[in-house]
Chain A
């Protein structure tokens, strides 16, 4: 089978494939946890300025981060397809 746009070899693409699957799952779940406003993720939120932050702002922040994670998860899904295609057509032999 001829190589189509060979960007990465079998090992690299396998690694990227694993990373993308993991990325989709991990970021998807992380998004869910942001969405349900998990307290353990509160230190990860970043607020401008000092002092009191109204809870509506905090909730908005949580939602925004959730969306962010899901977008990144989507990006990983796209990556997964790309890498899968790389792997399928450029693999001479994996293992």
Chain B
């Protein structure tokens, strides 16, 4: 402990028994050395800095600039890390722990990061531009290629149409023949027109009904070309009118006519079969792919029709996202009233979005229209749909040239892009080797400056003053660290550590290792121990797994749990390194040592219960033999029918050999179908009471250690002693009764404790006995009367000499303890207070005394008089009714109610306690005594204890209940599931065994081990928090949170992973 221990302090106790002794100390650090010293303390991780400028906002602190710079560096590093991750470069993470860099190194780091970031940003920007160019060029390339095919199709088709109908499908030949004739009759310029007509004709052929055609042909054609218009179906009246109009135009000049006719045709076609058009154009995407013959021809003729008109017809080409295409087409059709013609084709390659880099599917489109107005309209629509328009030359020659130009540019860009990416990759690879280490360094610097902000700056600006909590046992190491820090910084003046006296409650610091941590967490989850209070965790380490195992007693399930925990423990390092984020896994992994012990203890209790997957093992030879004669059994079996229902009893006198089974439950009970449960229940119930009362008594004994430690004489005298007396006179007495019953009341009649014992039917009933003890009922002494006849209800008799007397004494003593617990301590506190204020207000004091006494008298009156009167009345009424089980029933329900009420009291009283942390002897005399508070506190405590003793004893019965539930569930699983495997014979039986074992095994693991285990765990937790710790544990402390790099880095890392 070194020279810092002031004489007179108590000797060092083993670290885990109480929390570490802490002291408040002042650190005087030279301004130059402060950074290094804090860095050393951070590596050590044993001091908790107090904020000495709590009222200064974080923006006005001294080192806010440095913290901000660190934030900036961290941001840059995170950016770097993101870029590295994006490129899927593995990051070197050796987990090494570099020392906190010197302040001057910070500038280098900053410069490095700045440079890296700028470089990366530059590269990224270039890359983005290049990529944008690249994708634009790619799109242009696609446009050129697609439009080329559009136009090529046109040329090809024009040739076909002009050369004759040879290429046409047979169905349309007949209809087209006359049109071709017409075309032939016309002059050269009209040929295009005929092609146009053929087109329309085809459209007609596809879309018009036979009837409509007949009708059309019946109407007198005013023109050669009237058919053109009339061929439009009657449904589209407007179109047909327009068609007629077109015919007029045709007289004036063939070219314009054809032009308009074409548009009109388009319109009609769109109107009629808009959807089909889209489908067909979509299908057209693959050049000459899976088009149906008709549609191919149709589209071919479209192109054919317009190619000669390209002087009049203008077009724009562009690229649009595939998802937008449908809407785009629709809008184009509606907005331009069908006066435009759209061809689309899908780009087969998946392009990348320039900004996000996500893959997108795009389509090339080409829109034909006429006139400037339409052009602006179309352009607006394109803009609205975010379609990119590209210039597309009119002539094939130009297109080819442009295409070649684009290709070369793409090639160039590819080279440049490759180089850029290479460069970026090189930069990132270089950075990836260091980025984790840099991050650690920066975080360390940041935390140091953050801590330095807590410091007080001396007026001379020469030194910084800090206040720290630190464990006294570690002062030497802290001093060494300070010395190292000073040396490293080259400062001449040493840093000074000065212990201070304080009245503040120090933080609670329990040293833990990986084994004790799990149990300490269980305790801390209830409340951090008050400073220097007894730490329940060492006891929890044994009692927690034990109580768990009492509820989980099964060797088989215990082994499963044990092996799972063993796996976690043996593979600890690998599993930790794997950093599995699954929360459930982390819970189990974190509690691996707890689970390990739970498994081991379960194996032990399972061995005691002689239970392995609901089967027993006859390891040492059962003490029971078959006492029933075989002939007799055969006789009954011969009779058939009822044989299976026959009950056979092994009479202990004959079947039991007198030597009990060496350890645990005799396996014969597993086969006792009739009374297996009666036997086990009775045994387990009594055992739970024994364990429970033992644990509670132990808790009360621990409170004694607490009281003596805090030198609270009053508490020992007026809390601990009456509590112990109360507990012993009722509950420990009950335990002794249980043990006595086990020891003395066997199956054989004889003389027990001075009374004649006629046999098992007269074994004393302890529960009703306990109730009678409180009722102070007169009972028959002994089991037989003078003549040797068994008295009626002999199990209610007293069973040792002087029992009534002793029990009366016990009850009276226990009741007498209650007012002592309730009033003694407040009275003495008050007396002490009064003595201090002696003189002055003597008059007032007398009045106070009278009032207080009056008030104190009221309390027991309020508490007891009404219940007593009620009880009297009740007694009068029930005098004539029989006693029997009704008394027991009433009492049990009462205790249950008390249990519930007690739980409430637990919840309510917790905040009640908080304002009184000094109540345990530390702070007596800190302020004026608040008699009301003391009284209320004491009353609550007393009521809690008295009622708690009853309800907690009942609460421990959960040990039996859960153990029963577990045993029964595992029995059900065997008999209902696995046993069926043995019904079948032969190979079917083997297969059934194979399958049913899988089901049995899975259910065992998931229901019996996981779910039952969880419920047993929770109940064990409750027994510790409520039943055990309420006897001695305050849990009002606050945790020691040292400044430690390890902790800070771990937290940061966790936060990073949870992002």
Contact = CB atoms under 8 A, between A and B. Distances in A.
Contact of A72 (B634, B667, B994): B994
Contacts of B575: 95
Nearest to B988: A68
Interface stretch (B390-398, B455-463, B902-910, B997-1005): B997-1005
Interface string B962-995: 0000000000000100010111011101110110
Nearest to A65: B982
B420 interface: no
Contacts of A40: 615-618, 667, 670-671
Interface string B623-666: 00000000000100110110110000000000000000000000
A23 B1001 contact: yes
Contacts of A42: 671
Contacts of A44: 979, 982
A67 B988 CA distance: 12
A43 B1002 CA distance: 23
Interface string A23-45: 10011000000000011111111
A48 B993 CA distance: 19
Contact of A52 (B571, B615, B638): B638
B976 to A, nearest CB: 12
B1 interface: no
Contact of B1001 (A22, A51, A69): A22
B290 interface: no
A6 B618 CA distance: 46
B580 interface: yes
B578 interface: yes
A95 B994 contact: no
A71 B981 CA distance: 13
A58 interface: no
A81 to B, nearest CB: 15
Interface string B548-584: 0000000000000000000000010011001010000
A50 B640 contact: yes
Would you call the interface of chain A mostly helix, strand, loop, or mixed? helix
Interface in A50-86: 50-52, 64-65, 67-69, 71-72, 75-76
A68 B638 contact: no
B982 A45 contact: yes
Interface string A5-23: 0000000000000010011
A95 B1002 contact: no
A5 to B, nearest CB: 21
A19 B998 contact: yes
A42 B637 CA distance: 17
B634 A52 contact: yes
A45 B982 CA distance: 6
Nearest to B980: A46
A40 B614 CA distance: 10
Query: Which of B574, B990, B1002 is most buried by chain A, counting CB atoms within 10 A of its CB?
Result: B990
Interface residues of A, number: 27
B324 to A, nearest CB: 39
Query: Which range contains the number of B residues in contact with the other chain?
Result: 35 or more
Given A52-B634, A95-B574, A19 B1001 contact: yes
Nearest to B990: A71
Chain B facing A: main interface SS: helix
A13 to B, nearest CB: 14
B997 A72 contact: yes
B363 to A, nearest CB: 37
A71 B984 CA distance: 14
B378 to A, nearest CB: 53
A38 B580 CA distance: 45
A23 B643 contact: no
A49 B616 CA distance: 27
Nearest to B979: A44
A68 B574 CA distance: 40
Given A40-B615, A65-B982, A23 B997 contact: yes
Given A41-B615, A50-B641, A95-B580, A72 B993 contact: yes
A46 to B, nearest CB: 5
B983 A46 contact: yes
A38 B671 CA distance: 12
Contact of A51 (B638, B998, B1002): B638
A16 B304 CA distance: 69
A45 B981 CA distance: 10
Nearest to B996: A72
Contact of B1002 (A19, A45, A67, A68): A19
B469 to A, nearest CB: 40
Contacts of A67: 990
B1001 A76 contact: no
A72 B989 CA distance: 9
A21 to B, nearest CB: 10
A27 B578 CA distance: 34
Contacts of B982: 44-46, 65, 68
A75 to B, nearest CB: 5
Contacts of B640: 50-51
Interface in B924-961: none
A76 B667 CA distance: 30
A22 to B, nearest CB: 6
A70 to B, nearest CB: 8
A72 B671 contact: no
B708 to A, nearest CB: 50
A50 B644 contact: yes
A52 B637 contact: yes
Nearest to B633: A52
A47 to B, nearest CB: 10
A64 B989 CA distance: 10
A36 to B, nearest CB: 11
Contacts of A27: 993, 997
A72 B615 contact: no
Nearest to A74: B990
B709 to A, nearest CB: 46
A51 B643 contact: yes
A10 to B, nearest CB: 13
A38 B616 CA distance: 10
A84 to B, nearest CB: 17
A68 B990 contact: yes
A50 B765 CA distance: 41
A75 B615 CA distance: 24
Contacts of B993: 27, 68-69, 71-72
Interface string B315-349: 00000000000000000000000000000000000
Contacts of A51: 637-638, 640, 643
Contacts of B634: 52
A46 B981 CA distance: 10
A54 to B, nearest CB: 11
A40 to B, nearest CB: 5
Nearest to A75: B994
10 contacts: A38-B618, A40-B667, A43-B671, A50-B641, A64-B985, A65-B989, A68-B993, A71-B990, A76-B997, A95-B574
Interface of B: 571, 574-575, 578, 580, 615-618, 634, 637-638, 640-641, 643-644, 667, 670-671, 975, 979, 981-983, 985-987, 989-991, 993-994, 997-998, 1001-1002
Shortest 6 CB-CB distances between A and B: which pairs? Answer: A71-B990, A72-B993, A52-B637, A72-B994, A68-B989, A75-B994
Given A44-B982, A50-B643, A95-B575, 7 more contacts: A26-B1001, A43-B671, A68-B986, A71-B993, A72-B993, A72-B994, A95-B578
